[in-house]
């Protein structure tokens, strides 16, 4: 996730306005920053790695001439956060500059094609192909706008782009597919940005650009066209009534809620990861003598779910380990045949890095899954995958958790394929189902949010909760419990449901709330018995179930229903989403700030 911004002013210099716009978008990424302007038919660019303030202190981003320009604040996906990978990217002759938010899936093929035509690439990004493709089209005498149109037709993946050309210095051309793009319209200026807060200080009139549209900004105004049929689209600006702090969260009151709602998008992004890294990691896992899944907190819950996935799909036994215990528990037995699959959203968690360090000293192989390119984990892992969830600001992990689950499911499926243990038909079916998950999550949020809100009202006064599941759902139960506990401060317990009778059931008295996570899987019959034993002691039963699971619904005091039709191994992602919402609304009910829970930090860099 990156932030893009562009503007055409009738008077004044664009660079300082772009700089101000990018500051408002910094929450979308801050690995590097860059601005390009046009003045007197010439392109001017300043860019570097680092946060906006640091790059500005070094290069004075405001000192670029011209009243038209584009800018970018980066969240690294393809290519490390170095200066050469910072946007804007240019063509061979420095005539065209592009800023981009999204992922171009077919960039490798396009790059090879362009290199064969003699283009020279300066960065490792997917974005740079856009500048060269436009250059190629303009070489064939296409006007700038047509060259951009023909270029975006060749792009697969997601993009919001803004492009300027020294050859036609009076316009900015933008296009959108899946990544957000909005226009800001004022009397004497036009803006384009990833998000409204970037131009809100200048204008509250905004036009949302839709998927498949291209926009031409010039002194004459904005012209929206459908990319495919080139029909003109008329869309009047709407008035934005958000206060600036609301706008930063796209109208959501808290980042956590925004991030829960972003999950369909972040999950779609995980389905676009580059094949070669997934394949490489699968090969390492296949060859490993033993595999440890190492992480803390929420990321550990993803590892726990992954241990079921690897076992059930790929017939690979793994050891999920809480990172802070790794050295004590396994430090001496790790050796050259051991592989650690290390999961850390931040890539900076001290306990996790400590485990990695000790394993590296004993020549183990370290594989990393993280959300932050350039983090310590990406520097020390033999191979890493960036899950591309975009920045997560809320302290409680939500979208990064479901993205971790998605990547780990993909790895387990690939390994299953490689090992030939599961039939092709079954693999294809699972792959198809994995693709459906973003839509399933979207529907689950839409249909259940109001219900969950009401449940939070009903149960707000409870002193404690149980969260129970069986099989892979016990990992979901643990995560649901952690979310509730960390942001609404309600002591809660979670464990595999079969354990109740070995101790915890003694806590149950009438009205004690017990949340069961019950996908319709092989554990269905036994989880019903577990519900019955709680019910018999007067517990209030809340279940998360498949929509058509009348049998369990009848047993429950309250239910949250999800229409997934997914096999058990893929159920954790949709089943955890209502539990994230439950924790969020419970925090609000109890007057707690869900974004900043007490005593916690987003990245835990102390041991
Ligand atoms: C809980 C949460 C934490 C983190 C844990 C590990 O909502 O966010 O439990 O999961 O601190 O952090 P990373 O994944 O950055 O290593």
pLDDT surpassing 80 at residue 30: no
Nearest to 37 by CA among 79, 81, 99: 99
Q: Whose CA is nearest to atom 9 of ligand 1?
A: 297
Which residue from 481, 482, 542 is spatially nearest to 511, judged by alpha carbons?
542
Phi-psi category of 507—alpha, beta or left, where left has phi over 0 and alpha has psi -120 to 50?
A: alpha
Known catalytic membership, residue 312? no
Q: Is 555 helix (H, G, I), strand (E, B) or coil?
A: helix
pLDDT by residue (tens digit) across 430-483?
999 999 999 999 999 999 999 999 999 999 999 999 999 999 999 999 999 999
Banded model confidence at residue 587, pLDDT cuts 50, 70, 90 = very high
Q: Which atom of ligand 1 lies at the shortest distance from residue 296's CA?
A: 6
Which atom of ligand 1 lies closest to the CA of 483?
A: 7
Distance 266 CA to ligand 1 centre (A): 17
* Res 607: pLDDT: 60
Of residues 465, 460, 564, 575, the one with CA closest to residue 517: 575
CA–CA–CA angle 469, 471, 476 (5° rounding): 50
Mean pLDDT for the chain overall? 94
Q: Give the per-residue pLDDT at 245.
A: 64
pLDDT at 316: 96
The rounded Cα 508 to chain-centroid distance in angstroms is 38
Q: Which of 47, 83, 602, 607 is catalytic?
A: 602
Q: How far is the CA of 448 from the centre of ligand 1 (A)?
A: 26
pLDDT exceeds 70 at position 602: no
Between CA 471 and CA 557 the distance in angstroms is: 23
Q: At residue 27, does pLDDT exceed 80?
A: no
Instruction: Provide residues with CB under 6 Å of ligand 1.
Output: 296-299, 344-346, 349, 352, 396-397, 482, 486, 603-604
- Tell which residue, 475, 487, 474, 461, has the closest CA to residue 580: 487
Interval 318-337: pLDDT, tens: 999 999 999 999 999 999 99
| pLDDT for 243 | 67
Catalytic residue among 2, 174, 296, 592: 2
Q: Residue written as tokens 């981009």?
A: 100
- Residues 70-109 have pLDDT tens digits of 999 987 776 777 899 999 999 999 999 999 998 899 999 9
Residues 50, 220: contact at Cβ < 8 Å?
no
Pocket test for ligand 1, best of 259, 293, 294, 298 (most atoms within 8 A of CB): 298
Place of tokens 């394993």: 359
pLDDT in tens, 170-181: 999 999 998 889
Percent residues over pLDDT 90 in the chain: 83
Mean pLDDT confidence for 535-561: 97
Residue located via tokens 């809620």: 257
Kindly report the backbone phi and psi dihedral angles of residue 315, in degrees, each rounded to the nearest multiple of 5, phi listed first.
55, 35
Out of 259, 294, 295, 296, give the residue to mutate to test ligand 1, the one with the largest number of ligand atoms within 8 Å of its CB: 296
Rounded-to-integer distance, Cα 27 and Cα 159, Å: 18
**How close are the terminal C-alpha atoms of the chain, in Å?**
30
Say whether 170 sits in a helix, a strand or coil. coil
Q: What is the reported pLDDT for 605? A: 60
Question: Does the pTM exceed 0.85?
Answer: no
Is 602 an active-site residue?
Answer: yes
Q: What confidence category does residue 10 fall into, taking pLDDT thresholds of 50, 70 and 90? A: very high
Q: Which of 548, 488, 262, 284 is nearest to 393 (CA)?
A: 262
């Amino acid at each position: 996730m990156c932030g893009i911004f562009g503007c055409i002013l009738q008077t004044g210099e664009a660079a300082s306005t772009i700089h101000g716009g990018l500051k408002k978008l910094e929450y979308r990424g801050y690995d590097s920053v860059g601005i390009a302007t046009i003045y007197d038919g010439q392109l001017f660019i300043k860019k570097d790695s680092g946060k906006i303030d640091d790059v500005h202190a070094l290069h004075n981003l405001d000192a670029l001439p011209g009243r038209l320009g584009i800018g970018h604040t980066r969240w690294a996906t393809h290519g490390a956060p170095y200066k050469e990978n910072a946007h804007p990217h240019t063509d061979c002759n420095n005539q065209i500059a592009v800023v981009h938010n999204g992922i171009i899936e077919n960039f490798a093929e396009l790059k090879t094609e362009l290199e064969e035509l003699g283009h020279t690439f300066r960065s490792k990004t997917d974005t740079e192909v856009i500048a060269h493709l436009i250059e190629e089209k303009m070489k064939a005498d296409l006007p700038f706008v047509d060259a951009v149109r023909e270029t975006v037709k060749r792009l697969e993946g997601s993009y919001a782009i803004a492009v300027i050309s020294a050859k036609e210095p009076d316009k900015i051309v933008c296009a959108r597919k899946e990544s957000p793009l909005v226009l800001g319209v004022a009397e004497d200026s036009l803006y384009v940005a990833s998000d409204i807060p970037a131009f809100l200080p200048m204008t509250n009139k905004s036009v949302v650009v839709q998927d498949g549209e291209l926009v031409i900004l010039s002194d004459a105004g904005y012209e929206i066209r459908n990319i495919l049929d080139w029909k003109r689209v008329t869309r009047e600006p709407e008035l934005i009534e958000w206060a600036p702090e609301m706008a930063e969260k796209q109208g959501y009151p808290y980042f956590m809620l925004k991030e829960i709602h972003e999950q369909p998008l972040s999950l779609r992004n995980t389905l676009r990861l580059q094949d070669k890294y997934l394949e490489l990691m699968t090969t390492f896992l296949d060859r490993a003598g033993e595999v440890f899944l190492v992480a803390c907190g929420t990321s550990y819950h993803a590892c726990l779910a992954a241990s079921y996935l690897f076992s059930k799909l790929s017939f690979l036994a793994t050891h999920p380990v809480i990172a802070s215990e790794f050295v004590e528990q396994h430090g001496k037995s790790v050796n050259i045949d051991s592989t650690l699959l290390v999961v850390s959203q931040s890539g900076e968690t001290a306990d996790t890095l400590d485990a990695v360090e000790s394993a590296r000293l004993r020549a183990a192989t370290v594989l990393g899954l993280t959300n932050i390119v350039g983090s310590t984990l990406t520097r020390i892992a033999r191979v890493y995958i960036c899950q591309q969830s975009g920045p997560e600001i809320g302290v409680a992990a939500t979208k990064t958790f479901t993205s971790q689950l998605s990547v780990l499911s993909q790895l387990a499926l690939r390994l299953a394929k490689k090992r030939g243990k599961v039939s092709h038909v079954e693999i294809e079916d699972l792959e198809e189902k994995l693709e459906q998950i973003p839509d399933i999550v979207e529907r689950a949020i839409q249909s259940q949010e109001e219900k969950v809100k009401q449940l939070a009202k009903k149960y707000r006064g409870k002193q404690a909760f149980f969260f129970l599941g069986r099989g892979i759902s016990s990992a979901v139960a643990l995560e649901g419990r952690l979310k509730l506990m960390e942001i609404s401060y309600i002591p809660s317990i979670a464990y595999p449901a079969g354990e109740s009778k070995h101790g915890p059931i003694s806590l149950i008295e009438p009205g004690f709330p017990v949340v069961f996570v019950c996908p319709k899987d092989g554990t269905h019959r036994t989880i019903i018995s577990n519900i019955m034993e709680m019910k018999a002691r007067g517990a209030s039963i809340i279940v998360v179930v498949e929509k058509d699971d009348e049998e369990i619904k009848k047993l429950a005091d309250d239910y949250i229903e999800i229409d997934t039709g997914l096999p058990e191994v893929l159920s954790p992602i949709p089943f955890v989403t209502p539990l994230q919402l439950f924790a969020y609304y419970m925090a609000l009910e109890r007057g707690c700030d869900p974004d900043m829970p007490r005593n916690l930090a987003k990245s835990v860099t102390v041991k």
